[in-house]
Amino acid sequence: MAFKNIVYDVRERVAVITINRPERLNAIDADTSVGLREAFTSFRDDPERWVAVLAGAGEKAFSTGADLIAMAQEMREGRGPRLPVAFGGITRDFECWKPIIAAINGYCLAGGLELALSCDIRIAAEHAQFGLPEVTRAIIPGAGGTQRLPRVIPTAAAMHLLLTGGRFDAAWALRFGLVTEVVPADQLLGRALAIAEEICRNGPLAVRAVKEAALRGLEEPLAQGLELETELARQVMRSEDAREGPRAFAEKRPPVYRGR
């Protein structure tokens, strides 16, 4: 599959989506945002792909956020910044209940961090650097950083990062739960794929229902969240996979899930 500035690689049930602009530290321009939206839409709509891994090409960066050079050029030409889709493709107005794992290699700054925050699981290389430096340029994060970061890490830590515009290392990110694992750079993609494969051993419909229940439930009072959980559980229990799981357990064999 061909997407602008994106490499889309299939590893059995896993889609590996790579931002491919290493010469720009994987900065994201309008074309790249469109490419990401198209790649993730393809993943979401493909019944054969159950988990995605998002990475940045090269050794230096996951993404440094918006391509300010491209934005400045457009403004000089009187075109203004083009925003055909949400920044990074998935930071707004994109619903996908399949799991997405961010493999963060190097710089993860500004919109790059906001893109990572749009993923469900984040793991980082030891040399990864994180930050939302927008306030140092008298602007604010505009792709969900002010909303997602305090939902992911403790409020005090989020405010420290947001208000100082400072940069923090992988150890800081691990300590406050921004990432769940830190590994050597040469093991990063392999570890992300291992997590993806672990998820793929589970019933895919159940996995998607769990993600939907957890994320939608965050926005609801507990009583409404429990109602949502009950309704999704009913839907999953009607699936073929829900019958296969207990049957495989009783027969002492690995389950064979088909996503239906």
Over the stretch 118-162, which tens digit does the pLDDT of each residue have? 999 999 999 999 999 999 989 899 899 999 999 999 999 999 999
Q: Do residues 125 and 184 make contact, with C-beta atoms less than 8 angstroms apart? A: yes
For position 67, what pLDDT does the model report?
A: 81
Query: 213-260: per-residue pLDDT in tens?
Result: 999 999 999 999 999 999 999 999 999 999 989 898 899 899 899 989
Element (H, E) at 157: helix 155-164
Q: What is the mean pLDDT of the chain?
A: 93
For position 80, what pLDDT does the model report?
A: 62
Is 77 tagged catalytic?
no
What's the CA gap between 42 and 52, in Å, rounded? 11
For position 78, what pLDDT does the model report?
A: 64
| Region(s) of the chain under CATH 1.10.12.10 | 204-250
For residue 10, pLDDT over 80 is answered with: yes
The mean pLDDT value for 64-69 works out to 84
Selecting among 59, 134, 197, 244, the annotated active-site residue is: 134
**Phi, psi of 18, rounded to the nearest 5 degrees:** -120, 125
If one looks up domain 2-200 in CATH, what number appears?
Answer: 3.90.226.10
The CATH architecture one would assign to domain 204-250 is: Orthogonal Bundle (1.10)
For residue 69, pLDDT over 80 is answered with: no
For position 181, what pLDDT does the model report?
A: 98
Q: What is the pTM of this model?
A: 0.92
Is 114 tagged catalytic?
yes
| Region(s) of the chain under CATH 3.90.226.10 | 2-200
For residue 212, pLDDT over 90 is answered with: yes
Treating both helix axes as pointing N-terminal to C-terminal, what angle do 222-237 and 240-250 enclose, rounded to 10 degrees? 70
What's the CA gap between 43 and 38, in Å, rounded? 9
Selecting among 48, 95, 114, 240, the annotated active-site residue is: 114
> Is the dihedral angle over the CA atoms 161, 164, 166, 169 positive or is it negative?
negative
For position 259, what pLDDT does the model report?
A: 87
For position 213, what pLDDT does the model report?
A: 97
